[in-house]
C-alpha cells in the first residue's frame, strides 16, 4: 500500500530544490532570458505568472490556521490512511471511469498532512517562497 505523502513536506522540498537550481543557474538563465526576450516575450510572462502563483500560494499558507485547543491531530492522518485503504479496496469493484474514488484519494494527501501544519513549517515555506520570488525577479531584464 503506498504511503500518503505530506503535502507540506513535498512543497518545502520542491521549493528547496527549485531555489537551489535557480541559485546555481541564475547567471546562465538571466543571459538566456536577455538573449531570447525579443524573440520569445512569453519567457518573461512565464516568470511573472510563476511569481503570481507563488504569491497566491504564500497567502494560502499564511491563512492556514488551526483552531486552538485541538489535541491528537495525528488521528486525522490515521483516519486519512484508513480511508485510503478502504477506497483502494473498492476501486476494483467500481465501474470503469468512475472518478469518485480518485476524487476521495486526491483529498487524502492534504487531510493526512494536517498534523504537519506547524508555525515552523509555515514560516519555512513562506521564507522559501520569498527567496524563490527574489531569484525569479532577478532573471528578468532591468
Say yes or no: 11 and 60 in one domain: yes
User: Rounded to whole angstroms, what are the CA distances from 11 to 48, 61, 70, 118?
Assistant: 20, 11, 24, 14
Q: Specify the pLDDT at position 1.
A: 41
Non-local (6+) Cβ contacts of 26 within 8 A are 135, 138, 139
Say yes or no: 13 and 49 in one domain: yes
What is this structure's pTM?
Answer: 0.77
pLDDT in tens, the chain (142 residues): 445 568 888 999 999 999 999 999 999 999 999 999 989 989 999 999 999 999 999 999 999 887 777 777 788 888 988 999 999 898 888 888 788 888 888 888 888 888 877 888 899 999 999 999 999 999 998 7
Say yes or no: 33 and 81 in one domain: no
Whole-angstrom distance, CA of residue 115 vs CA of residue 112 = 7
Apex 100 CA angle, 94 and 105, nearest 5 = 105
Q: Specify the pLDDT at position 11.
A: 93
Say yes or no: 24 and 48 in one domain: yes
Q: Specify the pLDDT at position 67.
A: 75
Domain limits for position 9: 1-64+117-142
Contact 17, 123 (CB under 8 A): no
Say yes or no: 10 and 34 in one domain: yes
Say yes or no: 59 and 8 in one domain: yes
Amino acid at each position: 500500500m503506498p504511503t500518503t505523502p505530506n503535502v507540506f513536506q513535498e512543497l518545502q522540498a520542491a521549493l528547496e530544490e527549485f531555489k537551489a537550481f535557480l541559485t546555481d543557474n541564475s547567471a546562465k538563465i538571466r543571459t538566456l532570458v536577455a538573449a531570447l526576450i525579443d524573440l520569445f516575450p512569453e519567457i518573461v510572462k512565464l516568470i511573472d505568472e510563476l511569481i503570481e502563483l507563488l504569491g497566491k500560494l504564500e497567502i494560502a499558507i499564511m491563512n492556514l490556521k488551526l483552531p486552538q485547543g485541538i489535541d491528537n491531530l495525528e488521528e486525522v492522518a490515521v483516519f486519512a490512511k484508513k480511508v485510503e485503504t478502504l477506497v483502494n479496496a473498492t476501486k476494483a469493484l467500481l465501474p470503469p471511469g468512475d472518478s469518485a474514488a480518485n476524487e476521495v484519494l486526491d483529498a487524502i494527501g492534504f487531510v493526512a498532512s494536517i498534523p504537519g501544519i506547524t508555525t515552523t513549517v509555515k514560516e519555512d515555506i513562506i521564507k522559501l517562497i520569498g527567496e524563490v520570488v527574489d531569484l525569479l525577479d532577478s532573471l528578468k531584464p532591468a
